[in-house]
Amino acid sequence: MFKALADPTRRTILDELSERDDQTLFEICSRLATKHGLGSTRQAISQHIAVLEAAGLVSARRDGRYKLHSITPEPLRQIADRWLRDDHRKAP
């Protein structure tokens, strides 16, 4: 999951899905191109989404020939829990 966040394009995909979920692959592609100025191909985006799904950060459901993607940010909470849990040291 940390490796999934390491790529800027993947983080932008999460931003996009954070604004609006149930987007198809092509929708994500065109939005990345127009709103964020990224020139990635469909296949590249598809592979990025596969990484995000494997990390549990994106879930998808099929609807006919469309695959609708949504963000699943819950795994991110473990980051805060791991290092921002107010100080193991100074706690009683």
Partner DNA sequence: TTGACATGCAAGTATTCACTTGCCTATCAT
Partner DNA sequence: ATGATAGGCAAGTGAATACTTGCATGTCAA
- Rounded CA-CA distance 60/89 in Å is 41
Residue 84 binding its own copies, by CB under 8 A: yes
- Rounded CA-CA distance 46/60 in Å is 12
Q: Measure the CA dihedral 18/16/59/30, to 10°.
A: 160
Least CB distance to its own copies at residue 36 (A): 15
Give me the 13-42 binding string for its own copies, x by CB under 8 A, dash otherwise.
-xx--xxxx---------------------
Residue 91 binding its own copies, by CB under 8 A: no
- Pick between residue 5 and residue 76 the one whose CB is nearest to DNA: 5
